[in-house]
Structure 1
Amino acid sequence: MEKMKVSEYRKIAKERLRGQWGLNAGIIFLSSLLTMAVNRVTGVVNSGSVQTIMSFVISIFVLFAFSYALYYVGLFVTRGGRADIAQLFVVFQGKYYIPLLVINVIASIIQYVIGFAIFIPLLLQGGLGFYISLVLGTGAVDSSMVNRFASAGFVLLFLITVILYAIISSIVAGLFRFATYLKFDYPELSPTDCIKKAWDLIKDRWGKYILLQLSFIGWYILGILLLVFPVLWAVAYANVADAAFYDQALQEKIDVKGTI
């Protein structure tokens, strides 16, 4: 089977979204509203530490469901369906919730570890010295410390670190997005099997997957310039295109091996 181009995934997304752009953007907006509403629960706690813990727990156990539901919507639309608001709650179904929660926890742990590992050089270069000067010093930041942060070397290291993190984070996010798609398609698979099979699907497609993500940057920038709300249409566009990317990868794997 001939490999598809990035532009073809976007074309599929446009075709599938015809007649329901607003509906998909509205579902994404509603997902954001639900996320904000649930987050308000932590606002009633006065203790900062308790509030932080509650926010973390709610994010891990509740809010992920709305994000993963958008993956379901994108996949459903890619395959010719019409999005439905009720699909925002699909992850809370018994056959999905616990396995997808496990996938989310694993994804979160990996993202935290990768973030920490990547930013260590940056911390050692500037942040750690800044912290020590405040804790062990007089509490003032001398001119040498300011010059260190303003130096070309530190700025370059910062930019390289951010770009590296963005690339690796995108790859990890793609892997677990595929794992989520697989769980929706094959509820009988365990979380670890979903992750393993997701890796098998995406391991030879990293470059094209990253290019697909980069192809939407212009849409996001345009949406922000047009007073934010158009970003919802860009997110809907990218969501369906990502699902089309997965769907094609899955079909290619089935055509070659006869199974996933």
Structure 2
Amino acid sequence: MPQESYDLKRRAKEQLSGNWTQAVIVCFIAWLLTQAYANGNEIQSIRNVWQNGELISVPTTSHSSDLGDLVSFILTGPVTLGVAGYFVKLMRNEGPVIKDMFGGFKFFLKTFVLNLLITIFTLLWMLLLIIPGIIAILRYSMAYYILCDNPQLSALEVLKQSKLMMAGYKFDLFKLWLSYLGWFLLGIITLGLGFLWVIPYYNTALANFYQDLKDYGN
């Protein structure tokens, strides 16, 4: 079974020692590929224009924002798999390199379907109440890690295995989430700069959580 949150975080710090810069770059690239374009369109939905000595706002059309959201959704699956694979290698001391994060594109269609299914199932549970939606997120949280180790599985098979793996351990992962709450608030306060340190830290701890569950299941 997974260790307590403080042990997972301690192991994550040890594994990141000497690898922080590379891990930060991986997470930053992942953000650029999946979030920056969409967020950039949101930020630029109102453009500031200097005209006749006066600052005015010109609303943009929604087309560019919609395109950004679509690109973000299409890339989320393969990028998430690549990032998961990078941090699994880091956790296992297998000498990961930055290009490992692009490994998910070899399974583009499968990861796209996986992301689509997770999104649909989570939204359906969210229609009931927020708590069932959170439980769904926890239930499917190991899907990309399982796919890393079992690329032959289909998207549905990966989801089933994640559901089985997380049976009885969803609250343990929830506690790990809570242990990072302060760090994520720090990231918000620092206008996102803190996330450059927090996200690699969290991803490494999550990879350790997966490894503990896998070892316990074996």
CA distance in 1, matches of 2:2, 2:72: 37
Give the 5 Å matches for 1:95-106: 96-106=107-117
Q: Which string of whole-angstrom CA distances, capped at 9 and with x for unpartnered residues, describes residues 88-147 of structure 1?
A: 211111xx22222111000111222233332xxxxxxxxxxxxxxxxxxxxxxxxxxxxx
CA contact (8 A) 2:125 2:136 kept: no
Counterpart of 1:11 in structure 2 is 10
Q: 1:34 to 1:226 in 2, by over 3 A?
A: same
Give the 5 Å matches for 1:103-252: 103-118=114-129, 165=130, 168-252=132-216
CA contact (8 A) 1:25 1:236 kept: yes
How many Å apart are 1:206 and its aligned residue? Answer: 0.9
Q: Which string of whole-angstrom CA distances, capped at 9 and with x for unpartnered residues, describes residues 30-54 of structure 1?
A: 22223356547999xx753x54553
Q: CA RMSD in A?
A: 2.6
The answer to whether structure 1 residue 87 and structure 2 residue 100 are counterparts is yes
Q: 1:36 to 1:234 in 2, by over 3 A?
A: closer
CA contact (8 A) 1:171 1:210 kept: no
CA distance in 2, matches of 1:224, 1:41: 19
- Tell me whether 228-237 or 62-71 shows the greater mean CA deviation: 62-71
**What amino acid maps onto 1:216 in structure 2?**
Y
- Aligned residues, how many? 201
Aligned to 1:189, the other structure's residue is in SS state: coil
**What amino acid maps onto 2:200 in structure 1?**
A
How many Å apart are 1:84 and its aligned residue? Answer: 2.0
How many Å apart are 1:65 and its aligned residue? Answer: 2.5
**What amino acid maps onto 2:116 in structure 1?**
V
How many Å apart are 1:55 and its aligned residue? Answer: 3.7
**What amino acid maps onto 2:100 in structure 1?**
Q
**What amino acid maps onto 1:204 in structure 2?**
G
CA contact (8 A) 1:107 1:176 kept: yes
Higher Rg? 1
Q: Which residues of structure 2 form unaligned runs of 5+?
A: 45-59
Higher share in strand? 2
How many Å apart are 1:227 and its aligned residue? Answer: 5.0
Percent identity between matched residues is 22
How many Å apart are 1:172 and its aligned residue? Answer: 2.6
The answer to whether structure 1 residue 71 and structure 2 residue 70 are counterparts is no
Aligned to 2:101, the other structure's residue is in SS state: helix
Counterpart of 2:53 in structure 1 is none
How many Å apart are 1:61 and its aligned residue? Answer: 1.8
Aligned to 1:81, the other structure's residue is in SS state: coil
How many Å apart are 1:12 and its aligned residue? Answer: 1.4
Q: 1:9 to 1:168 in 2, by over 3 A?
A: farther
How many Å apart are 1:230 and its aligned residue? Answer: 2.4
TM-score (norm 1): 0.68
**What amino acid maps onto 2:123 in structure 1?**
Y
TM-score (norm 2): 0.80
CA distance in 2, matches of 1:73, 1:168: 30
